[in-house]
Structure 1
Amino acid sequence: MEIDFNELFNDSYGFILTSEDDFYECFYTKFTDASPIIAEVFRNTDMVNQKLMLRKAVSYMVNFFVTKKAREHFVSIACLHKDKLQIDPILYEIFIDTLLATLAEFYPRYNNAVGVSWRITLAPGVEFMKHISKLD
């Protein structure tokens, strides 16, 4: 059996793009409920702006997966999370798990292979986010 993870990701991501506002609203509700640490991080956050930034961040991670090039803004976001916000790397795992739980709720053709396609696509960007400040 052959599984085209690019096709699975592209189809599901395309579907999400048709209902981004609802998707990201649901994601942040689940994400902030997942941990008191996360709830505290977002306590005084402008969530309208935050959802917009997440949309961009996901697109940067997809672009990073495809091109293996970190655009300046993606580098800035990664440095901000690592150095200034001091995001614990474990929170990225919660981020991905929550993103997939939200996807499972929204995408009618969600299955394990779709989840794996998202993990494959976003993993390089997540690792970059975790480790950017170690680069010279």
Structure 2
Amino acid sequence: MSTSRTDLNYEQRFNDSVDKLMGHGCYNVELIEDFYRIFLAKSDVVANLFAHTNMSAQKTMLHDSLETLIDFSRTKEISPALEKLAQAHGKRGKNVPTYLFDVWLDSLMEALYLRDNSFTDKDELAWRLTLAPGITYVKFICKK
């Protein structure tokens, strides 16, 4: 059994998936709508956190947040955008329980599978590995 370079290189697999699902910085309306439908249905806690949220603005923020998390994975530098994201979700912001970031990520994976019929476990792993450093940073700041 032969393994291709893409199978071994999660960064390339992630980049290919992002290009397919989001284009080069494009806003994928269907993906983001699917994500929020899935995420808000996960629990009353999630639904309550978004009860008085301007969802149009929130959808744009999700796109921007993904870009911020991807950027952190690539640069390994804490940007002002990542710091702002962490603070907005921390105790002085929305005070989001840290376990919800796992629910958020699982919801995103469900939306990715829904939007891309060829999305595989390897693609999911690539997304999770790429987003993990930024999510870990945000969760760390949220605990403080």
Q: Structure 1-normalised TM-score?
A: 0.93
- Listed as ranges, the gaps of 5+ residues in structure 2 are none
Aligned residues: 135
**Is the contact made by 1:12 and 1:107 (CA closer than 8 Å) also made in structure 2?**
no
C-alpha distance in 2 between matches for 1:96 and 1:77: 15
Is structure 2 residue 47 aligned with structure 1 residue 42?
no
- Measure how far apart 1:134 and its partner are: 6.5
**2:98: which partner in 1?**
89
Alignment root-mean-square deviation, CA: 1.5
> Which string of whole-angstrom CA distances, capped at 9 and with x for unpartnered residues, describes residues 86-115 of structure 1?
111110000110100100011122110000
- Measure how far apart 1:133 and its partner are: 5.5
**1:72: which partner in 2?**
80
- Listed as ranges, the gaps of 5+ residues in structure 1 are none
C-alpha distance in 1 between matches for 2:143 and 2:45: 24
Identity of aligned residues (%): 27
Is structure 2 residue 8 aligned with structure 1 residue 8?
no
**2:118: which partner in 1?**
109
C-alpha distance in 1 between matches for 2:43 and 2:143: 27
**Larger deviation, residues 33-42 vs 78-87:** 78-87
Aligned structure 1 segments of 4 or more residues deviating by more than 4 angstroms: none
Q: Structure 2-normalised TM-score?
A: 0.88
Select 2:134's aligned residue among 122, 125, 136: 125
> Which string of whole-angstrom CA distances, capped at 9 and with x for unpartnered residues, describes residues 7-34 of structure 1?
2111111122156111001100000001
Is structure 2 residue 32 aligned with structure 1 residue 24?
yes
- State the SS of the aligned residue for 1:55: helix
